[in-house]
Amino acid sequence: MLIFGIFVLAPAMTETVTNNAVAALLTPLVISIAESLGMDPRPLIVAVMFGASASFAMPIGYQTNTLVYAAGNYRFSDFVKIGLPMNVIAGLASSAAVYFLVGVAGS
């Protein structure tokens, strides 16, 4: 649940600021959380990396979204309708992959 929670937080932040800023802000935070829980920080860091790159719900969160928003004559609601389900699917798949490949099961 912690991995998924971090994944949810990262794209939510990425929708308003750049993915680089989110990664720079959240990485020290998740390292601190992992250390306080006595766990390996790598799974949480990977969740931040995946989450910061999963900006599908708004055209302002990532440069490519902004380019296709203008060029394709899309509406803001088009991104929300398609992007939110994509964020959920990417979150579930990424969280499972991080858990099994990097996290507890991968140790």
Q: Inform me whether the pLDDT recorded for 106 exceeds 80.
A: no
- Residue 103 confidence (pLDDT): 66
pLDDT band for position 104 (cuts 50, 70, 90): low
d(CA 51, CA 10): 5
Q: pTM of the full predicted structure? A: 0.81
What are the residues whose beta carbons fall under 8 Å from the beta carbon of 80, sequence distance 6 or more?
57, 58
The enclosing H or E element of 79 equals: helix 76-97
User: pLDDT digit string (tens) for 24-81?
Assistant: 999 999 999 999 999 899 999 999 999 988 888 888 877 788 888 888 889 989 989 9
- Residue 32 confidence (pLDDT): 96
